[in-house]
Amino acid sequence: MRIAVIGSGYVGLVAGACFADLGHEVVLVDNDQQKLAALQAGRCPIHEQFLPELLDRHRGQRLQFTDNLQEAVRSSAAIFVAVGTPPTDQGDADLSYVESVAREISGAIDGYKIVVEKSTVPVYTSEWVRKIILRNGAPVDSFDVASNPEFLREGTGVTDFLYPDRIVVGADSERCAAVMREIYAPMTDGSYYKKHDAIPRPDRAQTPPPIIVTSTKSAELIKHASNAFLAMKISFINAVSSICESVGANVQQVCQGIGTDSRIGPRFLNPGIGYGGSCFPKDLMAFRAVARECGYDFRLLDEVIRINEEQRHRFLRKIRNALWTLRGKRIGILGLAFKGGTDDIRESPAILLVQSLLQEGCHLCAYDPAAIERTREVVGNKVEFATNAYDAAAGADALLILTDWEEFATLDLSELKRKMRYPIVIDGRNLYLPETMAARGFSYYSVGREPALADNQSTRASDNPQGATRKA
């Protein structure tokens, strides 16, 4: 099928490359000339596993790039809209890009086409897109609007796309649903997975994936409700981790105990320094705004957001309690991206902590395998950057682990200890076992677990930054 994807950000680029890998003819549309030139020249503008391979495989063949939206629409049977929906000051989604794209699409409709929302949008957006396309002259029978939310995580977007738990399609006519089924047929009939050069199957993937066809409104709500539920799971376990710290319990044991209940499940139960990224914070605010507009006061979401912010403040208190005063202290930072496997620092809790520590007068030396350039754009030369984890730790009064990169979980602890001024590690991602760290001579503070002090450290109350007041 001939498919146009409008917007070549994270979602559009991954979707376009994956549609090409499924065998479709794809044209990716963007009005950012620099980005187009980079893509045409063979560069991959984002850090995403398997994306460079797919772009190399299909560029100039089943994958074309253009700034000519109308021509792309005319030559395609399905038009996926994957433009940005940034938050407004009030927290709701700014849909002006979606509207202007809908207006432009309208003028190019010259036969039956489906227009598919791929960006995360509030309920009723498909109705608005339909109205805008009609208002701008497209005949009523010449198009349908569908909603096809994505559940891609940054870093693993390609495998999430090709090996999804489910494909959700919101379509209000059978004609439109049939086109969507045809697009995903190589996945739902299993033929893609038999190809010798298919992207490798991740653990846990069940193929073929089910396709769930709903109304467009339901599909729009599925996306917001899924992200809100996942964020709620994270805030829930972060709240539980605070209680664990107060009573001297171990949050990992608690997670194992609750996560093995198949109704709850073990995933997205990792406590940390709070969720970040370009999706959860924005989508929670947008969902809350949607609910309010519909007359429902979704206070549960307020609490999810509040716990998330509080988790970061708690971590800052933990640092303060471990180091006493902060002004002038040299602190090594491992991790700047909002999670491991990506160079994205949008709403990254690591960056927010870096900014707080700078305000406290700390000297920071940071390392991240992918996000240094982006961080430099935000903090300039206020932070020193290292080229590896050990250099970030050199001479440090303490080392903070803020992002769950795999390489941070396998550090050479002897080398690390040798480099640091004081062997104090404050781990916001629970990458190590407290007993291992203590045995290796570190004072180690983590989330939802008792601090482990190196053998030569006292256990006075002031050494216990989590404020554990264990009851007899």
Q: Are strands 443-445 and 78-81 parallel, antiparallel or unpaired?
A: unpaired
Contact flag: residue 269 with ligand UGA (CB under 6 A): yes
Q: Is 277 in the site for ligand UGA (CB under 6 A)?
A: yes
How many residues bind ligand UGA (CB under 6 A)? The answer is: 21
Q: Which lies closer to ligand UGA via its Cβ, residue 153 or residue 292? A: 153
Site stretch for ligand UGA (CB under 6 A), options 25-33, 195-203, 276-284, 444-452: 276-284
Contact, 248 vs 450, CB < 8 A? yes
Query: Does 153 interact with ligand UGA (rule: CB under 6 A)?
Result: yes
CA distances from 411 to 126, 146, 223, 443, 445 (A): 49, 48, 37, 16, 16
For residue 434, give the nearest of 448, 421, 420 by alpha carbon: 448
Residue of the chain from 126, 227, 252, 443 that contacts ligand UGA (CB under 6 A): 227
DSSP class per residue in 425-471: EEETT--S-HHHHHHTT-EEE-SSS--B--TTS---GGG-TT-----
Interface characters, 347-376, with ligand UGA (x: CB under 6 A): ------------------------------
Q: Check residue 270 for interaction with ligand UGA (CB under 6 A).
A: yes
Note whether 8 binds ligand UGA by CB under 6 A: no
Q: Does 49 bind ligand UGA (CB under 6 A)?
A: no
Q: Is 276 in the site for ligand UGA (CB under 6 A)?
A: yes
Contact pick of 48, 92, 150, 343 for ligand UGA (by CB under 6 A): 150
User: Using the rule CB under 6 A, which residue among 22, 73, 169, 234 binds ligand UGA?
Assistant: 234
**Contact set for ligand UGA, span 112-141 (CB under 6 A):** 120
Least distance in angstroms from the C-beta of 265 to ligand UGA: 11
Token pair of 419 as six digits: 């480099």
What sign does the CA torsion over 266, 272, 276, 277 have?
Answer: negative
For the purposes of burial, counting CB atoms within 10 Å of the CB of 456, is it exposed (0-12), middle (13-18) or buried (19 or more)? exposed
- Which residue in 16, 1, 6 sits closest to 115, CA to CA? 6
Query: Binding mask 249-268 vs ligand UGA (x if CB under 6 A, - otherwise)?
Result: -------------------x
For residue 279, state whether it binds ligand UGA (rule: CB under 6 A): yes
β-strand partners of 26: 3, 63
Pick from 158, 128, 164: which is nearest to 10 by CA?
A: 158
Bridge pairing between strands 167-171 and 143-147 = antiparallel
Instruction: Tell me how far, at minimum, the Cβ of 34 lies from ligand UGA, in Å.
Output: 23
Closer residue to ligand UGA in complex, CB, 197/203 = 203
Q: Which is nearer to ligand UGA, 132 or 234 (CB)?
A: 234
Distance of closest approach, residue 10 Cβ to ligand UGA, in angstroms: 7
Question: Least distance from C-beta 25 to ligand UGA, angstroms?
Answer: 25
Give me the least distance between CB of 451 and ligand UGA, in Å please: 20
Q: Are 74 and 270 in contact (CB under 8 A)?
A: no
Interacting stretch for ligand UGA, rule CB under 6 A, among 146-154, 167-175, 291-299, 326-334? Answer: 146-154
- Using the minimum distance from each CB to ligand UGA, give the nearer residue, 20 or 273: 273
Smallest distance from the beta carbon of 286 to ligand UGA, in angstroms? 11
Give the DSSP H or E segment for 257.
helix 251-259
- What's the rounded Cα separation, in Å, for the pair 285 and 334? 29
Token pair of 247 as six digits = 């009573």
Phi, psi of 334 (to 5 degrees): -105, 105
Find the binder of ligand UGA among 13, 26, 228, 230 (CB under 6 A).
230
**Contact track, ligand UGA, 304-343, x by CB under 6 A:** ----------------------------------xx----
Which residue among the candidates 18, 176, 244, 279 is catalytic per the annotation? Answer: 279
Q: Are 255 and 239 within 8 A, CB to CB?
A: no
Under rule CB under 6 A, residue 154 binds ligand UGA: yes
Among 128, 151, 193, 298, binds ligand UGA (CB under 6 A): 151
- Give start and end residues of each alpha helix (H) in 92-215: 96-108, 125-135, 157-162, 174-188, 191-194
* Known active-site residue 362: no
- 80 forms beta bridges with 5, 116
**DSSP 3-state assignment of 5?**
strand
Interface positions with ligand UGA (CB under 6 A) = 120, 150-154, 227, 230, 234, 268-270, 272, 275-277, 279-280, 283, 338-339
Q: Could you give the residue numbers annotated as active site?
A: 279
